Homo-oligomer: A and B are copies of this chain.
């Protein structure tokens, strides 16, 4: 068990925003929630699954919705505990720890704040080590673990508990509910035993995220060699540097969808189009896919190296585009069916030609 410090939280939030690949929500409110929780209830305790009893219940909490809405509809803070409480009551069992379901902006921070409030530890693991827009898109699904029973709650006392035969049905039921409840709600899904998380989870993802954030902070402070160190640690490649010349972004079917087009800073003939569904999914250079899900596609401000979330995109921004391999835990049977380009409706194959570039 280790305690999270305020510095850790800044690094964690920074790393989570980068690894969120545009999604997971702006971490600013999440940082405030965590800092307030620590002030009120004491430090956050981070544990590994090995420190918990095998049959203990691990629960998750997150914001589900469209980042474009999450940005404006600030969480009340009460919906996370009420969603967890409703699901725990339904399960007839209380959690021994919470866990983030994804690494991404606010969704890494909200479970920490909630765990602190509940006086239980947070597990250093998750189900994606990045953000994905749909709840079935976890390594847990690849292990046959179920997203349901799950709960959706809003801040007004509206609440849903779902049973679903498949994680795809879980996604469709959850999405339909959040469309009705304002597109920014609390979800608690994938209630699992510690043993299930040990078997199916991505371990150390919170630590990884903090380490990534620490290195990105170094880049932002202009530390010598920091950029290379960041690329080396994350095995990332810089695939494009360009200026935003077009943005098409709409909130539809419960998601923020859109495209952003960049014109290369040094060669105005080259353009890169990034397709978005809450997260950055695929980059096409002059019509050809150069980076695809499940690899990470991260946009950073060209000057400040601030990670840019999908809702923060703006015309004229100068951006660096990083590609990063997904966590090795994704490499299992069914990965491409679940989180490859076709899972998002793109009739193209996964490409890895960017790997090894710098």
Contacts and interface: CB of A to CB of B under 8 A. Distances in A.
Of A164, A173, A176, most B-chain CB atoms within 10 Å: A176
Contacts of A169: 158, 180
Name the prevailing secondary structure of the A interface residues. mixed
Given A156-B165, A157-B163, A158-B163, 5 more contacts: A158-B169, A158-B173, A161-B161, A173-B180, A176-B179
A279 to B, nearest CB: 22
A158 B146 CA distance: 13
A335 interface: no
A159 B162 contact: yes
A300 B190 CA distance: 52
Contacts of A158: 162-165, 169, 173
Nearest to A162: B160
Interface string A127-170: 00000000000000000000000000000111111111100010
Contacts of A86: 163
Contacts of A41: none
Copies of this protein in the complex: 2
A176 B165 contact: no
Interface in A168-205: 169, 172-173, 176-177, 179-181
A159 B159 CA distance: 14
Interface string A72-99: 0000000000000010001000000000
Interface of A: 86, 90, 156-165, 169, 172-173, 176-177, 179-181
B159 A163 contact: yes
Contacts of A179: 176
Nearest to A179: B176
A160 B162 CA distance: 4
Contact of A157 (B90, B157, B160, B165): B165
Contacts of A180: 169, 172-173, 176
A86 B164 CA distance: 13
Given A172-B180, A177-B177, A90 B161 contact: yes
A161 B86 CA distance: 10
Contacts of A163: 86, 157-160
Nearest 5 CB-CB pairs, A to B?
A176-B176, A159-B163, A161-B161, A172-B180, A176-B180
Nearest to A161: B161
